[in-house]
Amino acid sequence: MASLDCPACGAEVPLRSAAMPYAVCGHCHSVLLRDDAGLSDIGKSAVLPFDVSPLQLGTSGVADGVRFDVAGRVRWGWEDGSWNEWLLACGDGRVRWLGEAMGQYMLLSESTDLLGEPLLERFAQGDAITVGDTLAGFTATDVKQVRCLGGEGDLPFPTPTDWTMASVDFRDAAGASLSVQRDAKGVSAYVGRYLGLAEFAPRNLRQIDGWALPVELR
Amino acid sequence: MTAARVIDCPNCGGSIALKAAGYSITVACRYCGSELDVANPDVRLVTEYHRAMAASDLPLGARGTVGGTEWEVIGWLERSDDEARWSEYLLFNPYAGYRWLIHADGEWSLGTMLTSEPVAAGGDSVEHDGHRFEREYDPVSTRTDAVVGEFYWRVKAGDVVEATVFSNGGASLSWERGPDEVNWTQLDALPGGSAVRDAFVAPGEPPAGPAEAPRTPGQFGRKGASASRPRQPAPELAPLRQASDAEDLGKLTGMAIGTSFLLVILGLVFGGSGSAVEQRLTVYAGQPAQTVTLATLTLKRPYQAVTVTARSDGFVNKWVDLDYSLVDRRTQRSIDAYGLMEYYAGRDSDGPWTEGSHARTTKFAGVPAGTYDLMVDASAQNWSNPVTYGSAWGSTPSSADGGESEPIALRFRVKPGGVFVGNMLLFVLLTFAPIGIWIARKLHGAGGYRS
């Protein structure tokens, strides 16, 4: 794997996904901007708190029939907890996200199709969405004010810890999911579905002491 | 990498290993019952308690296999409504997420959180996954009375939700509404009686098992005869001397036959259990060893044997090394065993010959209860006959020109249990030994009279 040297500490920063403009140095946690001039240090990312996620940078798998590598992670926190969003660098050149909360996984990709829905237009103007609101067959099940706790790996944006947003998860009757986020820059929507870990045929999962990797995940 | 983050209870100072770090939000200290906020790196006391925790059927940390997945009990809730009181255990596996074990009125069920929303289907029914579920009763207030362990939401004793159950005869869906969320859980019935309790083994404790099961691993000891000293039925044999010679021989023989029979029955009963698992693997001679998991076994008896039979067909003048490891999932400790499958054929001055077999049975003995992965590391080698008897006799072609890429298809059959024929033979021989001694003595004695 190609790599550049971190301008802050000199450690190697691997180029997992060349399409991503930002990378977090795994050694000193500097957030690095990648451009034609190489890497430049634009600040520090928080050290991610310990968690037992089975995913890690470098885990690979198949999503929508396309091979992916986990290239980055953002951890989001809310008043009562936190969750991971893993950036998947996919073989078809697209970017997908794998949301991980409570041992459940949501495969998501950004979509602008639903942004014209009245509920989301009002949301963009500052209105709240409440649990039970419906939108194109989806029902809002989870409404939270969240804060970025930090990131690692390659990312499409820097992960400052003062970054806050409103996050709403919707579900439908068939296991599809919709995640809507609103921050200072506006509203974005991500659609996809819930799936089990085995469904994306992961390889190179994290080995966790005292637990055997299930046979189908090896 | 480690699996747990260790925190100290700010109230009692007890060390608590967080099993689902990153997911868990509340921990109710297992020592003093205080409720702690672990959502953030600094642990914060929510509610201080100083009381002994109520005993639950399944201790925190107990592990068991349900639906093919190993789970650890990380949390326990005692809940009640106007009519009933029951227990709910939170199960966790980092690769499989969460499940619930609900124990009510002596019945157990497994709860799985739904990721799709059941749809109202008119009246008091909902539709989910193509099935219609009828509401069983009006929602009632359900209170959480006691909490121990860790949870992925902010739980505390005194929490109240509205809850009801929708059912369609077989399966049922639990519905709960809290202040700002609705949760649906699918409930599947589990076997009754002590099946669930027996399936979960507490850390560091001997597993539950039949009381009459043998406690001594030596009975089917892996080290063979030296480790397995058969218990001689000596006390019973002693008084026989007083009887007449003819009676003695008859009784001794009868006893030996009876004891042998009993031993065989015991061997079959304690040795044989569980259903067999089959697995296939193809290896190539001269290629690096291949490792594959043959089976995941949940062994319930305090001690038992595990039998692996490897079979192949067709290969000649090759041997296959089979290095087996039986890895305990909890301790990651491995019990190793070795099997050699070899088959040679050729022709010498006496004509054609063959040696070896295409089958090899390997046994693990005295395996303690637990969940194990059985792995095999298999590699094949060509045997090249170093001795040439001259071109007139020759050797078989495959031994000479290798056939490096010729595949060897291996079939494995793994079965918990299994009687050690060698040990059983030894038991039988030793059981009959007194008769031999008796006869020898009689002959010696008779000789004595003659002299």
Question: Tens-of-pLDDT digits for all 451 residues of chain B?
Answer: 556 678 888 878 788 888 888 888 888 888 887 888 887 766 777 766 655 455 678 888 889 988 888 899 999 998 999 888 999 999 999 999 999 999 988 889 999 999 888 988 888 999 998 899 999 999 999 999 888 888 888 887 888 999 999 998 778 999 998 876 788 999 988 888 888 888 888 776 554 444 333 333 333 323 233 333 333 322 222 232 334 455 556 666 666 676 666 655 555 555 445 677 888 888 888 888 888 888 888 888 777 888 888 988 878 888 899 989 888 888 777 888 888 888 888 887 788 888 888 888 888 877 888 888 888 989 888 876 544 343 434 444 444 444 456 788 899 988 887 555 555 566 666 777 767 776 776 666 544 343 3
Phi, psi of A124 (to 5 degrees): -65, -30
Instruction: Determine, for residues A79 and B39 on separate chains, whether the beta-carbon distance falls below 8 Å.
Output: yes
Where do we find the tokens 């009519």?
B83
Q: With 90 as the cut, is the pLDDT of residue A177 above it?
A: yes
Q: According to the model, what pLDDT value does residue B170 have? A: 74
Average pLDDT over residues A15-32: 82
Task: State the CB neighbour count (10 A cutoff) for residue B122.
Answer: 8
User: A115 or B28, which is more confident?
Assistant: A115
Given CA atoms B17, B20, B25, B31 in this order, what sign does their dihedral have? negative
Q: What is the pLDDT of residue B418?
A: 55
Instruction: Give yes or no for a contact between A165 and A144, defined as CB atoms under 8 angstroms apart.
Output: no
Looking at B9-154, which runs of residues are DSSP E strands? 15-18, 26-28, 35-37, 44-47, 63-66, 69-80, 85-93, 97-104, 107-113, 119-120, 125-128, 131-135, 140-151
Backbone angles phi, psi at B114, to 5 degrees: -85, 145
SS3 B162: strand
> By the 8 A CB rule, do A144 and A117 touch?
no
The reported pLDDT for the residue numbered A70 is 95
Q: A75, A140 in Cβ contact below 8 A?
A: no
What are the distances in angstroms from CA B4 to CA A105, B199, B276?
A: 21, 24, 35
Q: Report yes or no: B61 and B73 within 8 Å, Cβ to Cβ.
A: yes
CA–CA gap between residue B182 and residue B173 (Å, rounded): 13
- Please report the pLDDT score of residue B135 as a whole number: 94
Q: Which chain A residue has the Cα nearest residue B292?
A: A215
Of the candidates A49, A172, A205, the beta carbon closest to that of B116 is on A172
- Residue B93: name the closest of B27, B23, B149 by CA: B23
Q: Which helix (H) or strand (E) holds B236?
A: helix B234-237
CB within 8 Å: B41 and A49: yes
Cα(A57)–Cα(A55) distance, rounded to whole angstroms?
A: 7
Task: Give the pLDDT band (50/70/90) at residue A76.
Answer: very high
Rounded-to-integer distance, Cα B443 and Cα A132, Å: 96
Res B187: pLDDT: 92
* Helix, coil or strand: residue B382: strand
Q: Which residues of A touch B69 (CB under 8 A)?
A: 214
Residue B435 pLDDT = 72
Q: What is the pLDDT of residue B158?
A: 85
**B277-418 CATH:** 2.60.120
Helices (H), A19-176: 118-124
Length of chain A as a residue count: 218
Closest to A155 in 3D by CA, of A35, A42, A24: A24
**What does the domain layout of chain B look like in residue ranges?**
5-199, 217-271+424-450, 277-418
For residue A54, with 0-12 CB atoms within 10 Å meaning exposed, 13-18 middle and 19 or more buried, which class applies?
A: buried
Give per-residue pLDDT as tens, A141-173: 889 999 998 899 999 888 877 889 999 999 998
Q: How far is A27 from chain B (nearest CA, A)?
A: 17
User: What 8-state DSSP symbol labels residue A16?
Assistant: S
Chain B interface, best mutation among A52, A56, A172, A197, by max B CB count within 10 A: A52
Structural contact between residues B332 and A213, judged by C-beta atoms closer than 8 angstroms:
no
Q: How far apart are CA B75 and CA A20, in angstroms?
A: 41
CA of A1 to nearest chain B CA: how many angstroms apart? 24
Q: Chain B: nearest CA to A35, how far in angstroms?
A: 33
Quick check: pTM over 0.80?
no
* pLDDT for residue A129: 94
A–B CB contacts, 8 A cutoff, strictly below: 118
Q: How confident is the model at residue A119 (pLDDT cuts 50, 70, 90)?
A: very high
Chain-chain contact of A173 with B116 (C-beta, under 8 angstroms): yes
Rounded to whole angstroms, the Cα distance separating B411 from B310 reads 6
Predicted confidence at residue B163, as pLDDT, reads 94
Instruction: For residue A164, give every residue at least 6 positions away whose Cβ sits within 8 Å of its Cβ, in sequence order, or none.
Output: A145, A146, A147, A148, A183
Nearest CB to A194 within list B98, B115, B293: B115
Sign of the dihedral defined by the CA atoms of residues B386, B391, B395, B397, in that order: positive
Strand partners, B343: B318, B356
Give the pLDDT confidence score for residue B222 in this predicted structure. Answer: 30
Query: Mean pLDDT in chain A?
Result: 89
B158's tokens: 């005194």
In this prediction, residue B229 carries a pLDDT of 33
The answer to whether B81 touches B162, Cβ cutoff 8 Å, is: no
Place of tokens 């001694």: B437
Q: How confident is the model at residue A190 (pLDDT cuts 50, 70, 90)?
A: very high
Backbone angles phi, psi at B340, to 5 degrees: -120, 125
B296 contacts in chain A (CB < 8 Å): 212, 215
Average pLDDT, integer, range A47-75: 90
Which residues make Cβ contacts (< 8 Å) with residue A122, sequence separation at least 6?
none
Q: Which residues in A lie closer than 8 A to residue B98 (C-beta atoms)?
A: 102-103
B225: which DSSP letter?
A: G
- B120 contacts in chain A (CB < 8 Å): none
Answer yes or no: is the ipTM higher than 0.90. Answer: no
| pLDDT value of residue B358 | 87
- Residues B48 and B11 sit within 8 Å (Cβ to Cβ): yes
User: Rounded CA gap, B341 and B300, in Å?
Assistant: 30
Question: CB B408: neighbour CB atoms within 10 A?
Answer: 19
Identity of the residue in B98, B117, B329 whose CB atom sits nearest the CB atom of A102: B98
